[in-house]
Structure 1
Amino acid sequence: MTKMKRISVLLVCFLILFNVANSQELRITSNNRYFEDSAGEPFFWLGDTAWELFHKLDREEATFYLKTRAKQGFTVIQAVVLAERDGVRSPNANGDLPFHDLDPTKPNEAYFSHVDFIIDEANKHGLTMGILPTWGDKVFSKHPGAGPIIFNAANAETYGRFLGNRYRNKNLVWILGGDRLVANNEVAQIWDAMARGLDEGDQGSHLITYHPRGFSSSSDVLDNPAWLDFNMYQSGHEKRFLEVYRFAKKDLGLRPQKPTVDGEPAYEDIPVKFWEYMDFKSGEFADQVDDSGNIKDKTIFPEGFFSGYDVRVLAYWDMLAGAAGFTYGNNAVWQMQKEGETFVIPTLTDWKKALRRPGAESMQYFKRFFKQIDFTKIVSDQELILSDNPENEDQIRAAIANDGSYVLVYLAKPREVKLDLTEMTGERLQGFWYNPRNGKRKTIPKLSTSSPLILQPPTNELEDDWVLLIQDRDKIKDDK
């Protein structure tokens, strides 16, 4: 082979690899319910809230974080360019501030070079970035934070255009808002302007959504602006067994229909309803932290801390309600809390140890389950459940494929379930119980096609949640 031919072959290989690496640019599926990549393949949104990623981690730390999450099966990393923890006045891990003179029209190249590196590293590992241009406290709201308020409609559009143009060819989605409602019409105009700038800068190549305050959806705080490609809700950290399925049901009932995602559910290791037991003063828990800077007296929070089990319940409830995906979160990871540092909300461990917490590890099994079926066919259907079905921790969630080829049931608490299978297709059914704690499955022998069908999960310990999948055997091949 001549040298020129070798160069040509290498160039072709490079272009193929480049196209593969960039094939996950997201778009909305034709049924307006889910996401797909540029090759038309269904994209499963499994996010992680790494809000302080750009601000707190250096290159080595960021690479370690991204590699870990990629290996665990995560697909989206949600991070904030202008972070909550005083992100425009407190420098990043390299000592750089995002702007000169706190002016959004004067970006600091050194700061954004670091952002460049992290986005590129994420894309290299197959991760799509969910980028918040700013946390919501940099815009006026009725819930002020570290701030300062630096945006108006004019500089928001300029800043949006800068970001859109800079990251035009990256795998990402834009997430406006940042834990805030829209206080008034002037604030709405600021977000409209930033979205307009993003759209002009990247020539409309990326989806845009909005991250609202807790216990609300983007559909609650915005009047369906043209730039809102899909809805995002923050179910929040108020209680265990929060009825997250209500958000999905409401959003999917709107017209025109758009995908919806729980962008911030209860975090693993965060105190339940933490705001009721703290006032966010510096040094508030100075006498209650260990040598690593983590809380040592958990009784300060009488309602306890959310566990990996709590995370799983919300994840499966969201998906069976028709959400387009789920975003996991950990209290130490969103803060990128390092040993010896002062936390925002009391932590149980540093961010590195938190990466391996049980809830985070179980997310790989969560994704694996839905990837083995065509999850874009999911239609929530509680009428499948003939058992008593209270709306509390004993709630059973159910869904059916839009072509009747499968039925899904999730039991947060193990108990007998009675099902109506009359809407399923096929005379030959097969089913199995899926263990969301370890990804193992147990086949149900001699599955009856009679209706109602009564089944009991394999175990009955208090937090032994189970997923039931019943399939039309003749259509399984089509789903794959």
Structure 2
Amino acid sequence: MKKCYLFLWFAVLLLSSHAYTQNIKLKVSDNKRFIITDKDKPFVWVGDTAWELFHKLNREEATEYLTTRAKQGFTVIQAVVLAELDGLRVPNPYGEIPLHDFSPEKPNEKYFEHVDFIVNKAEELGLVIGMLPTWGDKLYSLHPGAGPVVFNRNNAAVFGEFLGKRYENKPIVWILGGDRNVDSFEVLEIWRAMAAGLRKGDKGKHLISFHPRGGASSSYSLHNEDWLDFNMYQSGHAFRYNKVYQYATNDYLLRPTKPFVDGEPAYEDLSIRFWEDTDWQAALAENGIVKDMSYFKKDFFTAHDVRVHAYWDFLSGACGYTYGNNAVWQMFKKGSKPIIACLTDWREALDRPGANDMQHVRKLMEARPVSKIVPDQSLVYGLNGNDSTHIRAAVASDNSFALAYLSVGQSITVVMKKIADKNVVAWWYDPREGTSSKIGEFTNTGLQTFTPPSLGEGNDWVLILDSVTKKYPKP
């Protein structure tokens, strides 16, 4: 009998937890800095770029992908309905294309049944879908893609309303843009029409953002648009130790205040400045995987790179960060032709170190709530470089904790008194393992130098300073 009661108790607990995750509804916080749930709980945007998810994976594969990402602590999956890789002509695994006669007013029900399956599976797993209605090459652009261009103001509104109605009660965030900037006033009117259609269809239940090209933010063209709930920038794939904090600082200072997310930073396993690679196809084995690294002069982005950009983003005021892996965004399968050279196929890439490190980012942003983070570089005493030695710092809005990210394990001298207490507790947090160790308790006056446990490339650390009286748990 005792075993029976225990079983029932666990079942109720599991069902109640499951029911909660199925009803994720997001909104902007009152201070306009963060995204929160409708229960007023902080929401940590830890996303993944799965642009070709609806287009390339069958239901079994999609279930494997989503289940893995949920276990790894991801909260948002960014995927495209009218996909980049010739998504209007090349069918999904079930032989279906999304539109009849290339018309956004004639959606193919069979194609959208597959999208429905994936959205529903994500909901079951407690994930939010960052849904791009279309890749940007289906509108006029200075950077055309496979296309074809099919949208105008009228059919954009119709398509938006169709999607809004269909996914009105699902865990969705709308993301317009699709790797394109707003290149004309006509294009601006089309995006406005699509946003209005989405709002009409979903009765305003979901947030809307915009995914621009690399090196740009939605704020550059759209910050004052009423329909844009939060900004998104694409810090891109050009540099290691990319100064993502510059995008963040720009968006943080804008008025009216809006939250912002780094929606496409450097992808793990992507060749740095990949567009400069020449003759890289000769580097591939018969299965399409890279076999000769000598063709790539600038190396590939690593797990360390994605961690650096993630922590720099969050401590600069971003409310979210979207991870990416080069094999996963394109859902590359062995034996097929990669769009950009891959080190693994999509399935192997799911377990890459950078992907697993994202759960540790989320853990810290929940242990010391992201909704309290205020960027504060005055925590750092002395010169602060703009290279790998750059230190990013933040203090809680109630002065109960402070965070500083040290990308190569460099020492930091801290200006104390930032914490509202006579004494502070200091911790080291390991972004590679998600573990922490107590440094000690310190008087909250003057200057204090902290030296991490290890130094050098790949040895990044987070310094945490807590108010003693606040009694925060071990991070």
Same fold (TM over 0.5): yes
Q: Which stretch of structure 1 is more off in the superposition, 14-23 or 315-324?
A: 14-23
Q: Which amino acid aligns with 1:359?
A: G
Aligned residue in 2 for 1:220: 220
1:155-200 Cα distance to aligned partner (Å, 9 max, x none)? 0000000000000000010000000011100000000000000000
Query: Aligned match of 2:425 in 408, 423, 430?
Result: 430
- Within 5 Å, which residues of 2 pair with 1:32-431? 32-222=32-222, 224-278=224-278, 285-431=280-426
Secondary structure of the 2:454 match is coil
Consecutive unaligned residues in structure 1, runs of 5 or more: 1-11, 279-283
Secondary structure of the 2:403 match is strand
Distance 2:90 2:227 in 1: 31
Secondary structure of the 1:144 match is coil
Consecutive unaligned residues in structure 2, runs of 5 or more: 1-11
Tell me: CA distance 1:390–1:94, structure 2 relative to 1, closer, same or farther (3 Å).
Answer: same
Aligned residue in 2 for 1:470: 465
Checking the alignment, whether the CA contact within 8 Å between 1:414 and 1:465 is kept in structure 2 is yes
1:219-246 Cα distance to aligned partner (Å, 9 max, x none)? 0132521100000000000110010011
1:110-143 Cα distance to aligned partner (Å, 9 max, x none)? 0000000000000100000000000000000000
Distance 1:80 1:275 in 2: 22
Q: Give 4+ residue runs of structure 1 displaced > 4 Å after superposition.
A: 12-19, 477-480
Q: Which amino acid aligns with 2:85?
A: R
Checking the alignment, whether the CA contact within 8 Å between 2:223 and 2:231 is kept in structure 1 is no
Checking the alignment, whether the CA contact within 8 Å between 1:374 and 1:479 is kept in structure 2 is no
1:297 CA drift (Å): 2.0
1:19 CA drift (Å): 5.6
1:277 CA drift (Å): 1.9
Distance 1:24 1:204 in 2: 15
Distance 1:193 1:465 in 2: 45
Q: Which stretch of structure 1 is more off in the superposition, 73-82 or 377-386?
A: 377-386
Q: Which amino acid aligns with 1:439?
A: G
Checking the alignment, whether the CA contact within 8 Å between 1:241 and 1:392 is kept in structure 2 is yes
1:441 CA drift (Å): 1.1
TM-score, normalised with respect to structure 2: 0.95
Checking the alignment, whether the CA contact within 8 Å between 1:212 and 1:233 is kept in structure 2 is yes
1:388 CA drift (Å): 2.4
1:285 CA drift (Å): 4.1
Instruction: State percent identity of aligned pairs.
Output: 50
Aligned residue in 1 for 2:3: none
Distance 1:335 1:434 in 2: 33
Checking the alignment, whether the CA contact within 8 Å between 1:378 and 1:402 is kept in structure 2 is yes
1:22 CA drift (Å): 3.9
Tell me: CA distance 1:268–1:94, structure 2 relative to 1, closer, same or farther (3 Å).
Answer: same
1:421 CA drift (Å): 1.4
Distance 1:62 1:17 in 2: 23
Q: Which stretch of structure 1 is more off in the superposition, 74-83 or 468-477?
A: 468-477
1:330 CA drift (Å): 0.3
Checking the alignment, whether the CA contact within 8 Å between 1:394 and 1:413 is kept in structure 2 is yes
Checking the alignment, whether the CA contact within 8 Å between 1:129 and 1:171 is kept in structure 2 is yes
1:308-361 Cα distance to aligned partner (Å, 9 max, x none)? 000000000000000001100000000000011111111100000000111001
1:254 CA drift (Å): 0.7
Q: Which amino acid aligns with 1:417?
A: I
Q: Which amino acid aligns with 1:189?
A: E
Count of paired positions: 464
Secondary structure of the 1:42 match is coil
Aligned residue in 2 for 1:4: none
Distance 2:76 2:336 in 1: 27
Aligned residue in 2 for 1:3: none
1:294 CA drift (Å): 1.2
Distance 1:187 1:461 in 2: 47
Q: Which stretch of structure 1 is more off in the superposition, 437-446 or 225-234?
A: 437-446
Distance 1:29 1:51 in 2: 28
Cα-Cα RMSD:
1.9
TM-score, normalised with respect to structure 1: 0.94
Tell me: CA distance 1:228–1:65, structure 2 relative to 1, closer, same or farther (3 Å).
Answer: same
Q: Which amino acid aligns with 1:184?
A: S
Secondary structure of the 1:415 match is coil
Distance 1:294 1:267 in 2: 17
